[in-house]
Amino acid sequence: MTDKPKNILDITGTVLNIQRYCSHDGPGTRTTVFVKGCSLRCKWCGNPESIRMKPEVSYDPNKCDGKKCSICLKAPFPEGGFYFVEGDDSKVKVNWTLAAGINQEIVSLCPTGALEMFGKTMTVGEVMDEVEKDTSIYRNTGGGMTISGGEVMLQPDFAAALLQEAHNRGINTAIETASNAPWSFLEKVLPHVDTMLHDIKLMNSERHKKWTGVSNERILANLKKAYETFPDTDFIARTPLIPGVNADDEHMLGVLEFIKPHKNVIDYELLPYHRFGLGKYDSLGVIYELDDYKTPSDEVVKRFQTMIDKAFGRELTTE
């Protein structure tokens, strides 16, 4: 037979983090499993730590013991990867270029846990143990499990197995995806999904390529096929609103027109852009290109929301 594990509980994937009690990633209160690795490079990305597929070292200076420890200055830690600045012995500093080659085994030598691998390999079973802790909450709130990212479609086998296992245990499932993947990947994952939250970042292909790194033809084709192939799945379209990029009427109208013929697209959500992950992006390495993006004004968001409510035939609530 194949060398694939027989039991789906043993299938592994790279997980960034598991966050409980999430309220914005699908219906009810949910546990969100963030997977690592993304297939786009949006210039406004607020989660740069989730972009690369391979595990990366993370450093929490608050836990570092400083010079008296100094374990990371010696082999097997990479030469020049960690250092002290003269006059400041309290916390080690990280040279992200030279520390890049580090692995889990070496990182585990850090006695205080200041160094950790960001992103770890987990089995479906391990993830489910965590997810199952809140089963009663899901039941009470209509919640469940959401796989977010990164990009869930980068690990289709793991995602499919995880979602299937959740269903086996009676847990509602959702995914958040940008849908930039071969259709065969979506086809593998979607049968196990109750709600799919998917981004439509830009309707114009050329501009999509400019801002995210790839054109959008395949994404839109995937979405259309998904709407048609999985009529029982709920779809929620989303747009991270960024003034100067997509916070305009043209985009809103384009998306509404695109989703309109499909009854299983139950909503269109706006995610006003917040400069959230902004930090010292110079040290993040070459792949991150955050710049001065701005948040859309409340007024604009409100106006767009009205357009959406109208398109979905919702009554305008008045005080």
Partner 1 sequence: MIIDVGHAGMLRHVAVNTGAGFVPGTNAIVMGAAIAGNRLGWEMTGIRDGFEGLLHPERYPDGGLITLDPGLIENLDPSTGGILGQAPWTDPLYEQVANADKNRKEEDLPLELLKRLNEKGIDGLISIVGGQGLGILHKIHLKGFHTVCIPRSIENDIASTAVSFGFNSALSITIDMLSKAYQAARSASKIAVVEVPGEHAGWIALQAGIAVRADVVLITEIPCDLKNVASRLKDKISPRRPYGLVVVAEGAKFDDSPKGQFVDPVKPIVPPIGAGKVAVSVATALQKMIDTEIYPLSIGPWARGGNPTATDHQLGIAYGAWAVKTLRASKNGVMVSFVPPDIKYVPLEDVINKVRTVSADSEFLKIAGALGIYFGNFSSKM
Partner 2 sequence: MSTDTGQKRVAIMVGAGYIPGINAVVAGASLAAGKLGWELLGILDGFEGLLHPEKYPNGGLIPIDPQKFNIDPNTGSVLGQSSRIDPFNVRTINELGMVEEVDMSDELLTRLKAENIDAVISIVGGRGLSILYQLHKKGLNAVCVPRSIENDIASTSVAFGFNTALTFTIEMLDRARLAAKAAQKIAVVEVLGEEAGWIALQAGIAVAADAVLIPEIPVDLQHVVTHLKNKMSGKKSWGLVVVAQGAKIINPGKTEEKVSTLKASLSPLATSDSNSEFVIHKSGQVAQAVAEGLQLRIAEETFPMVIGPWVRGGTPSAVDRQLGVAYGAGAIQALEAGRNGVMVAFVPPDVKFVPLAEAINKVRTIPTGSMFFQVADSLGIYVGNKEA
Bond prior to 76 in cis (omega within 30° of 0): yes
Min CB(247)–partner 1 separation in Å: 6
CA dist., res. 175 & res. 195, Å (int):
7
The closest alpha carbon to 36, from 60, 63, 12, belongs to 12
191 part of the interface to partner 1, by CB under 8 A? no
211 part of the interface to partner 2, by CB under 8 A? no
Which segments of the chain does DSSP mark as H helices, in order? Answer: 104-107, 124-131, 135-141, 156-168, 183-189, 205-212, 217-229, 249-259, 298-311
38 part of the interface to partner 2, by CB under 8 A? yes
The closest alpha carbon to 65, from 112, 6, 135, belongs to 112
The interface region with partner 2, picked from 22-30, 48-56, 169-177, 300-308 by CB under 8 A, is: 48-56
For the chain, give percent helix, strand, coil, nearest 5: 35, 25, 40
DSSP state, residue 73:
G
- CB-wise, 125 or 277, nearer to partner 2? 277
The interface region with partner 1, picked from 45-53, 156-164, 218-226, 298-306 by CB under 8 A, is: 298-306
The closest alpha carbon to 233, from 189, 203, 271, belongs to 189
Question: Which does residue 210 touch among partner 1, partner 2, none (CB within 5 to 8 A, set by kind)?
Answer: partner 1
Contacts of 263 (CB under 8 A, 6+ apart): none
Question: Which does residue 283 touch among partner 2, partner 1, none (CB within 5 to 8 A, set by kind)?
Answer: partner 2
The interface region with partner 2, picked from 82-90, 129-137, 169-177, 254-262 by CB under 8 A, is: 82-90
Min CB(248)–partner 1 separation in Å: 5
Min CB(231)–partner 1 separation in Å: 33
- x-or-dash string of contact with partner 1, 242-281, rule CB under 8 A: -xxx-xxxx--x--------------------xx------
**Tokens 């050329």 sit at which residue?**
206
The interface region with partner 2, picked from 132-140, 162-170, 213-221, 246-254 by CB under 8 A, is: 213-221
Min CB(237)–partner 2 separation in Å: 21
**Candidate residues 79, 129, 206, 228; the one interacting with partner 1 per rule CB under 8 A:** 206
Question: Which does residue 97 touch among partner 2, partner 1, none (CB within 5 to 8 A, set by kind)?
Answer: partner 2
CA dist., res. 107 & res. 77, Å (int):
8
CA dist., res. 11 & res. 88, Å (int):
45
CA dist., res. 16 & res. 148, Å (int):
10
Helix axes 124-131, 156-168, angle to 10 degrees: 40
Residues contributing to the site for partner 1 (CB under 8 A): 206-207, 210-211, 243-245, 247-250, 253, 274-275, 291-292, 294-300
Residues contributing to the site for partner 2 (CB under 8 A): 17, 19, 38-41, 48-49, 52-53, 56-62, 79-80, 83, 85-87, 91, 93-98, 100, 116, 118, 151, 154, 180-182, 213-214, 218, 274-288, 292
